[in-house]
Structure 1
């Protein structure tokens, strides 16, 4: 009804005209936030498939002004995954094929119905560093450790249609997505010709939001949700509040995009944008390059938003040209977005969209920033770093100060230029290179006790740093190229120097890491490093030169020259003009075209990988990397949906429990439950690899669930993956306690504080919780992705009423719990009663909010989760065609 023709350089295309819909008198489309306009176009395009009426579309378009939550089906046009989260999703699809074959259904029918890209970037570790051979050696070890996983991915690439793999040593998922894979506007062939529409991307990594900088609506989901979308099931969302952030002013000299992103993260956390859309607009956008915007959008999970969206404008078109997109592709984006009212004119005097909430952010207020030592939102000026350092964590203040290992509290042991958050920003990277050049010219050095690494997010970065003549200066300070991947940002830090590790352990030192990453949760970067700080790439180098966090860089020297002259930060900090001039002269479209010319082919090692070209993957019973998914079977831990009685508390935790706490990343300790399982499988400790690399084996991951060494469980007086088996009062590891409870058919719950599940979009945080036998999580508040993952696994998320928590209700975690009200017909966000019975028979009764936020989530719960729902869907299809 609202379709129109749009003329392009490649001929006419059909569009679902938002303007025609608005002119029909239904709604003023120009009042809608850009993100809602994109959702509305998707519903118009899929109206027939979804069975929607015009009234449904009007209800969605006017949903922001309604007091009632409006639930809509969201159909992405593409899914993007990285290897750590993508492998378990593929294991589930392979297991589904096998399960369907047992039911007499052709397994070849199980294929993604929308394009899926997987980028291998989470496996490289910084084993070698500070040498010219670091990249080659780390890549060799990566293939050596992960050959079985890579053969599986090579098999999947050949077995599944519509599935592409970007091989190792190509780049980081979100940077590759930004610079290469994303088109902004897609053209697909429909029954009646070619149709143009916006890209809408979901990814199995929370920082998928980086693509929002291009005007593409997308966000991170758990692998569970992505699997459903890949199989054609719509993702159900409630139209969120949209917070408008007006950008004004311009940046001061010496301020980086990282400083802006960290400041915005702190600001929006205080404004509580969790689960909301954030849109940036205003005159200040003119002063933010698209890579600057990408740094801000990438951090959306850190400020809690579903997305951090920048509408398409002239800067978007400039970036598309710079990264090598064809003229006709750029022209399509411009014509389509202008025709649809999706193009932002910063100089326009027209009235802008109507937002649920409105915030003004003045770029001129931003100053050099550092976030840490445990959370991205804990931002401070560089002058406050010394005061922030957690000296109280150490029992020793003297440290060790020998000639070979001069370490003490506050010493930096890891300095990493890492993470697509910042390596996708040429201004940050060129700035770091220029700072390194000035430092080397002064004769400054970095202490040998620091693990220094450069992990570019794409081959384009090394190409333009080399072209600019800056790589030799970075290398002179120890920042040799260590690999194309997330590396230190996801905890793949490898080992520190032997003497450094010995000193830290023997003297119980509180040492630090500085990285240009997006997360600094405790224990994430390295098990021996208690304090982690996020800074811009130039500041990574500056802190590395200083060698300590015990410094006020605003007024104290970083180091001295050989002649004893004090050198301050301002002496080596490059000017904005220097940076911009070098960016303009070195970064051209040819740099990006050459970097991505053969991005799907890989090197000789990738091309030579062997695989069995069969529709059903042949599981190796001896494999410790892959086992068939347990989620398509109904096991003994299953129970019918309904009220829960006589449940015990498996864990009682506080605020800011992250998905890292729930499902750790990094190396697998020998003494851990997962480590001991691998020993039993005759795996040598040297070959344990990381938790991320073993996500295709549920036996390892369930034993690693809640095994974080810094986890604090209120049921016991020790840290780590331990709990109390309440009936006997014994302390034991979480996995063993859960097994005992499950053998006794005792349902389990978790009690938690605020922001439960913040951090990575890690489906195993929910999958592992499910396999431990947990039926419900009661928390003060949930982060969006983890709450959704729990719901999709059939685990009930319950939220304490405002002002209530375990302390106010005087809960000890030793009670038995009943959850009442789940037998009745359920509705989103209804009240559910919880009864806790103490050992003496006294009762505590309290209300909670059922955080199944949509009817689709309720339906999934009633079907015992998404996996049983998918299996039931295929069985139903078979019965209809029989």
Structure 2
């Protein structure tokens, strides 16, 4: 039996376990990335592990979410990240260099490599044949220290592409089509591997658009083969030496198959407030729009902004519609400026922003109340924009440009007919200039002597080992699809405390219940109750770390998002699955008691746990965790467990030297 491309890369990096669907495998990590909202805690954890320097080929530290540095706390975080990168041997991209996925793609992403990122859109790298996986910062910290990354081998879905995209249809519409067919939960535990004759019609950049937003399907990752289009892209970047041809075997066997005829794709748009609420643009055309934003790690590259610049050239945006372009990297900004497009965009009434993630997380360009925002981003969860009752649509740059011109949601095919313009298509430059090298401080160029910590940077909290008796109130009952934005928002007000867990924890689940943090702290233990797909969205580990700090023992949910479940385990919180009947019966405030000896049951491999609710009735909850994960839970989480392992190893090595 032949191998899929996913299996080939996993096997080439395997150091433990087996590459069989559903089985756990430990893989060597080649590269890591983190940004300013996840990196501070990752480096504090790296320090707590007692390590001297990173062990991966490339560790990239970026400052892209809080680029505008609205508070001294953010500036202090950036200075700390710069000092940590210099101290431990990482590459540091200064604020303004760009979004980590775009900058890493320009400089370091390579076919056949494994990339672990403290951001859920790390699968962007799959467009270049790199196995990129998003995870929590603690996993990145231990991987930087040389530890394997463990993952259950996902199912591999063959997404067979046929035909070619028609005019005005884009790679963004391809992934929106998949979201329209399926859902934000469809890809949990799966990899989407793109094959078929249609693959060759897509540039390497278009492929990264698709793999980036594959995260919204809930997928572990997405990946394309590395072929002549990959080689062409790397050559234009001046990195031709990184090219390796990679593809699945002809007789590879997949767990499932999805066929997409590219020739049938039309301009699509995700309506508020979920990325899978997708319809053809013409179905919602005519909706007045107050704000248009082009950018993000999905559509912020030079190739994304160029069609917008061409469509707006010599024209003006609608008076009622504020239009902002936030390039994904300084490279894109520089290329637009050198080719004259920045001036044309400004003349059209566009506000050209710094290269940043800011607006995507509500840390800038927050929509007005009772307004509509059309964006080329990847997420439109309610409130993520910084406005609680927002109305955010997601679309391609071409749809965004047409909408900016008319002031209402517009299918670009209709505008083209009115204006007599041709589709801009995908245009790649002969070579990419301005690769942001001036803004990346290399590991041997450190400008700091040791770690520099501002007053807002606190220590990493640790959890005690699991006890025998776990009980407490059901602190909060939540519906399906609670996101990490619900648990710990990424808005400016909150994000300044990402390196200060005691303060940050005050905002835990505030968007669901403003009283939660205070009640949890006073309860001295308790449980969260949730419906399906609990913890979807961003990889932010603070969504597990803060509940742990507040004393939460675990979560009873109908199902969990992959990254968040891993983060719960990493911080010693029990992720227990319950059926729909039990979920319906549990009331907020009920006493939840694990009848079994919790620590012994977890350690021994017990899967079914008896849970007594309100002292009156019992139900069965299940723990889906392997032996390694159970050891982490019993130890109080991955940090205390790994620190002990590293200390034991160091002691053994020292003893051997004697």
Give the alignment's TM-score, normalised by structure 2: 0.92
Equivalent runs, 1:569-608 vs 2, <5 Å: 570-572=417-419, 574-576=421-423, 578-580=424-426, 583-584=427-428, 587-589=429-431, 591-592=432-433, 594-601=434-441
**Residue of structure 2 equivalent to 1:313:** 227
Q: Which residue of 2 aligns with 1:833?
A: 610
Give the one of 364, 381, 393 matched to 1:493.
Answer: 364
Note closer, same or farther for the CA distance 1:750–1:865 as it changes in structure 2 (3 Å cut).
same
Q: 2:470 aligns with which of 632, 644, 659?
A: 644
Shift of 1:692: 2.4
1:871: Cα distance to partner?
2.5
CA shift in 2, pair 1:271/1:812, >3 Å: closer
Q: CA deviation at 1:610?
A: 7.6
Q: Give the aligned partner of residue 129 of structure 1.
A: none
| 2:103 aligned residue (158, 172, 176) | 176
Aligned partner of 1:359 in structure 2 is 258
SS of match in other structure, 1:269: coil
Once the 2 structures are TM-superposed, how far is the Cα of residue 452 of structure 1 from its aligned partner?
A: 2.7
Match of 1:146 among 66, 71, 74: 74
Structure 2 partner of 1:123: 66
Shift of 1:120: 1.3
Please say if residues 431 and 574 of structure 1, whose CA atoms lie closer than 8 Å, have aligned partners that are also in contact: no
The partner residue of 2:499 within 688, 693, 696 is: 696
Relative to structure 2, which stretch is displaced further, 271-280 or 770-779? 271-280
Matched, 1:547 2:407: yes
2:35 aligns with: 82
Residue-by-residue CA offset, 1:219-258 (whole Å, 9 max, x unaligned): 1001121112122222222222111111112112211111
Task: Output one character per residue of 1:682-703: Cα deviation in whole Å (capped at 9) or x when no partner.
Answer: xxxxxxxxx2232111122111
Kindly indicate whether residue 247 of structure 2 is the aligned counterpart of residue 343 of structure 1: yes
Matched residue of 2:519: which SS? helix
1:377-776 equivalences under 5 Å are 377-385=276-284, 412-424=289-301, 426=303, 428-437=304-313, 440=315, 444-447=316-319, 450-494=321-365, 504=369, 510-527=370-387, 530-548=390-408, 553=411, 568=415, 570-572=417-419, 574-576=421-423, 578-580=424-426, 583-584=427-428, 587-589=429-431, 591-592=432-433, 594-601=434-441, 611=448, 613-614=449-450, 617=451, 623=455, 625-631=456-462, 638=464, 640-645=466-471, 647-668=472-493, 691-708=494-511, 711=512, 721-722=513-514, 733-742=515-524, 747-776=525-554
In the alignment, the residues of structure 2 paired with residue 878 and residue 469 of structure 1 have an alpha-carbon distance, to the nearest angstrom, of 57
SS at match of 2:492: coil
Q: Distance in 1 between matches of 2:549 and 2:177?
A: 39
Sort the Cα spacing of 1:271 and 1:147 in 2 relative to 1 into closer, same or farther, 3 A. Answer: closer
Query: Which residues in structure 2 correspond to 1:190-209 (within 5 Å)?
Result: 198-209=112-123
Q: Distance in 1 between matches of 2:125 and 2:336?
A: 23
Within a 5 Å distance, the mapping from 1:794-873 to structure 2 comes to 794-801=572-579, 803-804=580-581, 806-807=583-584, 810-821=585-596, 822=598, 823-824=600-601, 826=603, 830-837=607-614, 842-843=616-617, 845-852=618-625, 854-873=626-645
What 5-or-longer segments of structure 2 have no aligned partner? none
Cα distance between partner residues in 2 of 1:148 and 1:626: 8
Q: CA deviation at 1:495?
A: 5.9
Question: What is the Cα deviation at residue 804 of structure 1?
Answer: 3.8
2:272/2:392 contact within 8 Å kept: yes
Q: Does 1:777 align with 2:549?
A: no
Query: What do residues 171-200 of structure 1 show as CA deviations (whole Å, max 9, x unaligned)?
Result: 11101111212233xxxxxxxxxxxxx311
SS, match of residue 798 in structure 1:
strand
The DSSP-based 3-state class of the residue aligned with 1:694 is: coil
Counterparts of 2:622 and 2:588, CA distance in 1 = 19
How far is 1:529 from its partner?
A: 5.2
Distance 1:437 1:694, change over 3 A: same
Structure 1 stretches of 4+ with a deviation exceeding 6 A read: none
SS of equivalent residue, structure 2 residue 219: coil
2:440 match: secondary structure: coil
Q: Is the 8 A contact 1:512 1:529 kept in 2?
A: no
C-alpha separation between the residues in 2 aligned to 1:495 and 1:378?
22
Task: Indicate how the Cα distance of structure 1 residues 421 and 825 shifts in structure 2: closer, same or farther if over 3 A, else same.
Answer: closer
CA distance in 2, matches of 1:619, 1:460: 30
Alignment of 1:227-238 (within 5 A): 227-238=141-152
Any conservation in 2 of the 1:489–1:525 contact (CA below 8 Å)? yes
Deviates more, 1:248-257 or 1:749-758: 248-257
In 2, are the aligned partners of 1:276 and 1:306 still within 8 Å (CA)?
Answer: yes
Q: Over the residues paired in the alignment, what is the CA RMSD in angstroms?
A: 2.7
Task: Report deviation, 1:825.
Answer: 5.8
Shift of 1:738: 1.4
Give per-residue Cα distances to partners, 1:305-345, cap 9 Å, x unaligned. 1011101111111111121214xx15xx34xx4xxxx336x
1-structure distance, mates of 2:519, 2:638: 26
Residues 618 and 369 of structure 1: CA distance in aligned 2, closer, same or farther (over 3 Å):
closer
Please say if residues 780 and 804 of structure 1, whose CA atoms lie closer than 8 Å, have aligned partners that are also in contact: no
Candidates 39, 61, 80, aligned match of 2:10:
39
- Matches of 1:176 and 1:806, distance apart in 2: 43
Could you say which structure has the larger radius of gyration? 1
Equivalent residues of 1:833, 1:846 under 8 A apart = yes
Q: Kindly tell me: are residues 142 and 750 of structure 1, through their superposed partners in 2, closer, same or farther at Cα, counting changes over 3 Å?
A: closer
| Contact 1:455–1:487, Cα closer than 8 Å, also in 2 | no
List aligned pairs for 1:266-305, cutoff 5 A. 266-269=180-183, 272-305=186-219
Superposed displacement of residue 204, structure 1: 0.3
**Count of residues paired in the alignment:** 649
Partner SS for 2:351: coil
TM-score, normalising length from structure 1?
A: 0.69
User: Structure 1 805/278 Cα, relative in aligned 2: closer, same or farther at 3 Å?
Assistant: farther
Alpha-carbon spacing, 1:667–1:784, altered in 2? closer, same or farther (3 Å): same
Alignment of 1:225 onto 2:154: no
Kindly tell me: are residues 825 and 774 of structure 1, through their superposed partners in 2, closer, same or farther at Cα, counting changes over 3 Å? closer
Measure the CA separation in 1 of the matches of 2:238 and 2:70.
30
**Corresponding residue of 2:52:** 110
Question: Deviation per CA, 1:24-48, whole angstroms, max 9, x where unpaired?
Answer: xxxx4xx1111111111112xx4xx
| Equivalent-residue separation in structure 1 for 2:290 and 2:302 (angstroms) | 25
Indicate conservation of the 8 Å contact 1:214/1:316, yes or no. yes
The residue aligned with 2:273 is: 374
For the structure 1 residues 805 and 74, does the alpha-carbon distance in structure 2 shift closer, same or farther, using more than 3 Å as the test? farther
Give the 3-state SS of the residue equivalent to 2:38 in structure 1.
helix
Deviation at 1:553, TM superposition (A): 4.8
In the alignment, is the contact (CA less than 8 A) between 1:750 and 1:774 conserved in 2?
yes
Query: What CA distance in whole angstroms lies between the structure 2 residues aligned with 1:478 and 1:588?
Result: 29
8 Å contact kept, 2:291–2:373: yes
Q: List aligned pairs for 1:250-269, cutoff 5 A.
A: 250-269=164-183
Please tell me whether the aligned partners of residues 319 and 407 of structure 2 are also in contact (alpha carbons under 8 angstroms): yes
Partners of 1:227 and 1:269 lie apart in 2 by 31
Task: Point out where structure 1 has 5 or more consecutive residues left out of the alignment.
Answer: 1-27, 51-55, 98-108, 126-140, 185-197, 345-349, 388-409, 505-509, 558-567, 669-690, 712-720, 723-732
Query: Equivalents in 1 of 2:604, 2:291: separation in Å?
Result: 49
